[in-house]
Amino acid sequence: MVDVDKVLDDAGLSNEAVRDYVKHWAEHLQPDRIEVVSAADDSRLIEEALAAGEIQPAGEGLYYSRSYSKDTARSEERTIVATSREEDKGVYNNWRHSDEIRPIVEGHMKGAFAGKTMYVIPYLMAPPGSPSEKYAAGVEITDNRTVCLHMIRMARVGIDLINNLAEPDHFVRAVHVTGDLPNLGQGTPEDKRYFVTVADERTILHFGSSYGGNALLGKIAHGLRQAAYDGWRSREFLSEQFMLLGIKDKETGKQWHVCGGFPSASGKTNLAMTLAPDALGDRYHVSFYGDDIAWLWVDPDSGELMGLNPENGVFGVAKDTNEKTNPTALDSIAPGSQALFTNVAYNDQTHEVWWEGKTPERPADTAGWIDWKGERIADRSPDEAGDPWAHPNSRFTTSLANVPNVAADYNDPKGVRIDAIIFGGRTRDREPLVRAITDLAEGVYDGLTLGAEATFAAEGVEGKLRYDPMSMRPFMSYAEGPYAQHWLDIVGAAKHQPIFAHVNWFQRDAGDGHFLWPGYRENLRALLWLCQFKDGEVTGRQTAVGVIPTEDELGMEGLDLPQADLDRILDIDIERWREEMGHRQEHLEQFPNLPEEIWVAHRRVAEALDQA
Ligand code: GDP
Ligand code: PGA
Ligand code: MN
Ligand code: MN
């Protein structure tokens, strides 16, 4: 048995509550060794991981790793929110009583670290000194060195952060056990994986994965699920799956901050990293704050709605990332950035990485190339020849500091004032490019009825339309009725109301299926219109479902779209919308205690469509 006190003394970990937590879990998990991790340990951990074959070199200061082939996405069916309060049960949070589920997961974890090292990762989700710092501290325990490397990039990691907490006992207890991946029955009735957040005990217990979305507990389990629960119970803040960006008009000096939710793999990272399209010259500067999580609150002094990104890094989808779609992303994973690549294709002779869409063609010479399953491309049978080389959910991981357009004040604990909140997803028809909504309840209603096609970031059917309230469906930690009320309460308390909008970069031609809008960096045009609309510089065209830009207002210089495509994305299909309202009604009826304001907004939209 490891002498835990000695390890913690040597590491300088003095927080007594954290020490007790580590001792408790060391007893349960029975590791051979314990190590406390700080960001300063990164280069040593990299060397050890290289030596152990857990990662491979992928160019100067770049690394490649592969997760087990049945472990490449978040598993929503195996994700559970547990509390001791029946009223926390919602439609999407897979609620279970903690008394029932906790012993099951703990049973799986018992003795699981035998022969292994237990890494203890003290972290902060949020810049130190932020108003929500109280909810930001956590300590992840893991048996996986690659998880340590990811956490160092994605969170602020260090012993000092946890030694000096204002409330030493107020930290999230986050336990991650990889498990015996080939023998967990992933996706079968005998599935042994459990991803549990015991929200009212601020404890996260994840068993059976080493994929980032399941294993980096600071990110999704704490930063989203736990934080959403904490923000609601304290009545202090919202935690949402939102990107956050700043736009500056260098000519007028005006500045806006826009945040918003799109389901996983629907464009948050690309949008936040976008630079103004070349055609607009360099009049606008877009700055990056965050690409996956935003915490929102009202500043008690100024009364303004504020937001910040609790993360310290980017866990981005690799597919289709290239010079044209996202040059900023490529810069942020350039040689020397210490970026990690997961489940991309890898060449073990040249140490290159590749993914679909990185270049128009696959590398011509297959020598040395290995696909995301670890199989040699050269050994593929003819019927496997067309299969992707990289997993569609393959990822890059890099620190915010590497992002070339990261905002100068991204580390400012005060956050930034939020001017606009947008929702969007992959919707092949019905949803126009952008429709602005000025009313709070209608904006919240719009978020609650966000419907999008499923993507590959979670296990499930790609292409099937499903509702995903505010893009939070996989991260909901309490019931949807109170969630809607909490939104109305927090945003409603702000001195200046943000504008809302629904955007859609993914409308397709009914015939050949091409995207009607070029997307990526051109998306800024829709956001610029929204900011101008908010400031009263353009008026748009009122429709039953919001205000849509006219062609002139959208600003099409340097962009050559077929007129028919442009007409489609700047119009609404009344018939399809009327049909949609019935589905929305059913969707909302699932949620008991939905605030009356939301129903009023729903009926108002339905009536406007009837009269259109
Ligand atoms: P996130 O998971 O929400 O952060 O989404 P990403 O920004 O990583 O994008 C997910 C996938 O959608 C990637 O394969 C992108 O290349 C693609 N994507 C992102 N933005 C756009 C867009 O505006 N148009 C199109 N057609 N694809 C996009
Ligand atoms: P994404 O982030 O939204 O960029 O895909 C990771 C996730 O949600 O799993
Ligand atoms: Mn996400
Ligand atoms: Mn992303």
How far apart are the C-alpha atoms of 137 and 125, rounded to whole Å?
A: 6
Kindly tell me if the per-residue pLDDT of 362 is higher than 80: yes
**Percentage of the residues of the chain whose pLDDT score is greater than 70:** 98
The ligand 1 atom at the shortest distance from the C-alpha of residue 519 is: 23
Q: Is residue 8 over pLDDT 60?
A: yes
Q: Binding residue per annotation — 123?
A: no
Greatest mean pLDDT among 4-13, 130-139, 445-454 lies in 4-13
433 neighbors 526 (Cβ within 8 angstroms): yes
Chain centre distance of CA 371: 25
pLDDT at 281: 85
Nearest CA to ligand 1 atom 23: 519
Protein residue with least CA distance to atom 2, ligand 1: 265
Catalytic residue among 75, 266, 287, 399: 266
240-313+409-611 CATH pick, 3.50.50.60, 3.90.228.20, 3.30.470.10, 3.40.50.11540:
3.90.228.20
Burial class (CB in 10 A: 0-12, 13-18, 19+), 252: exposed
In the predicted model, what is the mean pLDDT of residues 397-401? 98
Give the position, in ligand 1's atom list, of the atom nearest the Cα of 523: 23
Nearest CA to ligand 1 atom 24: 519
32 pLDDT exceeds 60? yes
Q: What is the mean pLDDT of residues 318-346?
A: 97
**Ligand 1 centroid – CA 268 distance (Å):** 7
Q: Is the pLDDT of residue 540 over 70?
A: yes
User: Is residue 426 marked as binding?
Assistant: yes
- The reply, when asked if residue 536 is annotated as ligand binding, is no
Examine the pLDDT at 463 and tell me if it is beyond 60.
Answer: no
pLDDT category, 578, cuts 50, 70, 90? very high
266 is catalytic: yes
Residue 452's pLDDT is 84
- Ligand 2 contacts (CB < 6 A) are 74, 213, 264-265, 268-269, 292, 315, 317, 457
What homologous superfamily is domain 315-400 in, according to CATH? Answer: Phosphoenolpyruvate Carboxykinase, domain 2 (2.170.8.10)
Task: Please check the confidence at residue 304 and state whether its pLDDT lies above 60.
Answer: yes
Tell me which residue has tokens 């996405």. Answer: 73
- Which pLDDT score is estimated for 131? 86
- Helices and strands in the chain: count of H runs, count of E runs: 17, 31
Stated pTM of the model: 0.97
CB 193, CB 186: distance < 8 Å: yes
What is the DSSP secondary-structure string of 434-492? Answer: EEEE--HHHHHHHHHT-EEE--TTBSS-TT-EEE-GGG-GGG--S-HHHHHHHHHHHHH
What would the mean pLDDT of 351-374 be, rounded to a whole number? 97
Domain boundaries of the chain, sorted by first residue = 4-54+74-235, 240-313+409-611, 315-400
Is 194 one of the annotated binding-site residues? no
What does the mean pLDDT of the chain come to?
96
Identify the CA nearest to 340 among candidates 120, 56, 117, 125: 56
Q: Is the ipTM, as predicted for this complex, more than 0.95? A: yes
Spatial separation of the C-alpha atoms in residues 324 and 603, rounded to whole Å = 43
The 10s digit of each residue's pLDDT in 211-250 is 999 999 999 999 999 999 999 999 999 999 999 999 999 9
> Terminal CA-to-CA distance of the chain, rounded, Å?
73
Q: List pocket residues of ligand 1, CB cut-off 6 Å.
A: 262, 264-270, 291, 316-317, 319-320, 325, 457, 505, 515, 519-520, 523
pLDDT of residue 489: 98
Residue 371 pLDDT level (bands cut at 50, 70, 90): very high
**Backbone Cα Rg of the chain:** 24
315-400 and 4-54+74-235 share a CATH fold: no
- pLDDT score recorded for residue 462: 53
pLDDT of residue 457: 65
Which CATH architecture fits 4-54+74-235?
3-Layer(aba) Sandwich (3.40)
